[in-house]
Structure 1
Amino acid sequence: MSKKGPIGIFDSGYGGLTVLKEIVNELPDYDYLYLGDNARSPYGTRSFQTIYDYTLECVKHLFSQDCHLIILACNTASAKALRNIQQQDLPEIDPQRRVLGVIRPTAEVIGNYSGSGHVGVLGTGGTVNSESYVMEIKKQFPELTVVQEACPMWVPLVENGEYDKPGADYFVQQHVERVLAKDPKVDTLLLACTHYPLLMKKIREYTPEHVSVLSQGEIVAESLKDYLNRHPEIDEKCSKGGSRHFLTTDSTEEFDAHGKEFFGNEITSEYVHL
């Protein structure tokens, strides 16, 4: 049997740490290896081909570190690279390994949160333009009405530490009001970017009380737990020593300083050149 290894968590930057935080809370016994491609972040404005190339390169690196299961904790990568990697690359690299995303697990449950049957998706331009959420939600809940809103300033606000400052209010209010104006029946908003949970307090300030706001971390963590229960052949390849290691393609000092805001704890990263 091949060597056991950690569960790989990939993101273009820091955002996936909000997902890892919830996964660790749900499944604390497993080993995790996080890779943030900070040197080439953000992915949201890049072309389909570039996002695919970057994501595949990072996936291959995590495979080289003995990861048998990788979570693309990045909505843009999940939208624009996951399918090609699953269908074209994995069969050649190693058909026994798995790469999963964050869009499908969210789409599988979002309809359960809405009473009106109308939901709004807030995401980066890349995620919104891909229509991935609309398509995946329609597969699971064809009766749902889905509206989207791209929020191009939200990631820069978060990454520059402005998410809890007065300057964020204008941009948060603007996009929350826009998505609700597109469909006044919306009673559930999905934060379809892993950076957005840091804006949750301000998002709630500008969202009517009857509208639920969902972040992905807990949903993805529950989905991963269920996946491992249903796939013991993958679970047995995942090492369980309770370790967490962090890799970044850019400054480790920057990653450690900003990363703790997303992860909720102090972290120490290592630099990796891809």
Structure 2
Amino acid sequence: MIINTGGRTDSVQYYSEWLLNRFAEGYVLARNPLFPNKVNHYELTPDKVDCVVFCSKDYRPILPRLHEITDRFATYFHYTITAYGKDVEPGVPSIEQSMDTLLELSEQVGKQRVAWRYDPVLLTRDYTIERHLETFERMAAVLTPYVDRCIFSFVEMYKKLETNMPELIPLSVQDMDALAQGLGAIAAKYGLHLQTCGTNGDYTRYGIHASGCMTLDILGRANGIVFKDRKHKGMRQGCHCIESRDIGAYDTCLNGCKYCYANKNAHKAVENFKRHDPASPLLLGHVGPEDTIIQGVQKPFRKGEKHG
């Protein structure tokens, strides 16, 4: 099975001690977002976990102890660094600081295990197409030698954004084409493998690859692992990633990004954070008498393994 530590929250940036404790103790509990009293139990041991995937906007809190996980597990790291400032991503470090941290991460785990995420791409009066391309090139010049690939996607215009980001300018087909053409040209200039994520159109004409951002091929090559030839069901409609088990929780990330889909609002995340106990097997709170603990399905993806 694939463990995802960062799909619902930035566990690396805000819950690194808890994360390290869970891998040290060898198990984790995760509430079902749809049925909160149903709690899944997952074993976090090398014989049960094929790969651990991280996604964060700041790896500094975990870097000194990251080896406690990487020494034992196959891993892959998504590092999100965008063109936005504190006006859009209040809790995220500066671009320069983020790039410095990515370089440290890459030197520690190897460039083949690090993907730079430049997403979501969105437009406002301040964040224009020109600004995106200028910032992306500045970053690509520094980051390309330290990453396996770069993944970008265009912002999804879900209803919550109308309230959270009224300044957002809807992307037209022409806007997306101009951005893709510009990003593709910059990637080609620096020899950067650039790909889209999800249902973001076909831009192969600009040298941009179409792929899931978490496939068995990517994870296997990064770690020297041979996986089974397994169909990728995706995590949502239009997604080409391999299925994974997320051990985080929604409404817990303190970054406060305006475009965030994982928080209903920033205030709720702050309130939930007060319930966090680094020693608990759950990210928030503790198991109660009303909870039912269920052993989560842990199917192996590696060739030749049959444990359940």
Same-fold status (TM-score > 0.5)? no
Determine which structure has greater relative contact order: mean sequence separation of CA pairs < 8 Å that are 6+ residues apart, divided by chain length.
Answer: 1
TM-score band by shorter chain is 0.3 to 0.5
TM-score (norm 2): 0.37
TM-score (norm 1): 0.40
